[in-house]
Amino acid sequence: MIRFEPRSNPGPFLVYGVPILAATIAILLAAIPLALAGAPIIQAYGLMISGAFGSVFSTSEMLTRATPLILTGLAAAIAFRAKLWNIGAEGQLYMGAMAAVAVGSGVIDGPSWVMIPVVIIAGMAAGALMLIGPTLLKTRLGVDEVVTTLLLNFIVLLFVQMMLEGALKDPMSMGWPQSEPIIDSAAFPALLDRMRVHIGLLIALVSAVALAIFVKRTVWGFEIRAVGENAAAARFSGISVTKTMILVAALSGGLAGLAGVSEVAGTRGYLATDLSPGYGYAGIVVAMLARLSPIGVIASALFVASVFVGADSMSRAIGVSSYLADLIVAMALLCVLIGGFLTRFRVHFDRKSAQG
């Protein structure tokens, strides 16, 4: 008979070691599909590492890919901390990107110190509004936010497609569905010459540190944690659960919208329907790998980004599908979920009861 006993105080090895162990196991398990595909396993792992860290360019590409993952990971982490299951970061990312393009493609003009904050504020506001609606439906009417936020992703993408064929379409795009480009004064400056990595990375890192301080050191952060632990007890103690959830929605949606801003103002320069390869959904994995820690999100985003970039390089070199990266990330998430359960519970095998 198997019996699960709650752990009163998991040690630091379990708390911090489980995500690292989960990532390691996931990478090792990737050898199975590699072997089935007939790829040289050692060479494949070497190509993955060199593809993500083998040169300044490859490392910069990994950091470029990590930037939106940090922001969407933070969006998921703060929402999940309050038990607000935001599955709509993908839609919020696109809404943030569309708002940034709407104000940053020449409608208004000004110096960089004006335009960059303007596109950031517009994108974060659009993303926040996208989540505040489902949050009010949850708190007022009990509507499941998993359903509403997930379905809004598809609605937003269709809306973006409509806008790219209409009001936002670039007349110089030769018929391609894309927006007018962001003007130079609204674009994020690059951190390295002839590289795509931009100041969005610095903004993401500062956001992670600021969110960690906010959650741990402020009254609002305490209220968010209290609502997440037990909403009924928090309400009984005088905390406004509705106001706290709206604050969380604004933060989570705003961070996802900021990810969209970083892509259009820093990486792409314009909006298209293929702006995101799934950063909003991958952010959920990033947050879970980090165990909802804002600082841990940085490390987990770097891991996920390195897997994606390394797998792309490996697939081009030896002809193995780049979808291996998705498999590794999925296995890492499963390992973290299993590890998280074993962190909270101790497993006992009661042989006597089984025999009886």
- Whether 325 maps to a domain, the answer reads no
- Whether 157 maps to a domain, the answer reads yes
- Whether 237 maps to a domain, the answer reads yes
- Whether 11 maps to a domain, the answer reads no
- Whether 88 maps to a domain, the answer reads yes
pLDDT at 229: 92
Tell me which H or E stretch contains 346: strand 345-349
The answer to pTM > 0.85 is yes
Phi, psi dihedral angles at 42 (to 5 degrees): -60, -45
Is residue 73 within 8 A of residue 301, CB to CB? The reply is yes
- Whether 55 maps to a domain, the answer reads no
- Whether 142 maps to a domain, the answer reads yes
For the record, the structure tokens of 171 come out as 């007349």
Q: The domain containing residue 119 runs over which residues? A: 66-290
- Amino acid identity, position 334: L
Pick the closest to residue 210 from 254, 243, 242 (CA basis): 254
Q: d(Cα 152, Cα 280) in Å, to the nearest integer?
A: 12
Please, what are the averages of pLDDT over each run of 10 residues along the chain (356 residues)? 72 74 83 83 88 91 95 96 95 96 89 94 97 95 94 96 90 84 93 91 97 95 94 92 96 97 94 92 91 93 91 83 77 78 73 52
Report which DSSP code applies to 194: T
Name, in order, each residue with C-beta under 8 angstroms of 255's C-beta and a sequence gap of 6 or more. 71, 72, 74, 75, 78, 124, 127, 207, 211
pLDDT at 354: 47
- Whether 139 maps to a domain, the answer reads yes
Q: d(Cα 105, Cα 169) in Å, to the nearest integer?
A: 11
Number of domains in the chain: 1
Report which DSSP code applies to 173: S
Q: d(Cα 249, Cα 80) in Å, to the nearest integer?
A: 10
Report in angstroms the alpha-carbon separations of 160 from 88, 101, 118: 15, 11, 20
Is residue 336 within 8 A of residue 24, CB to CB? The reply is no
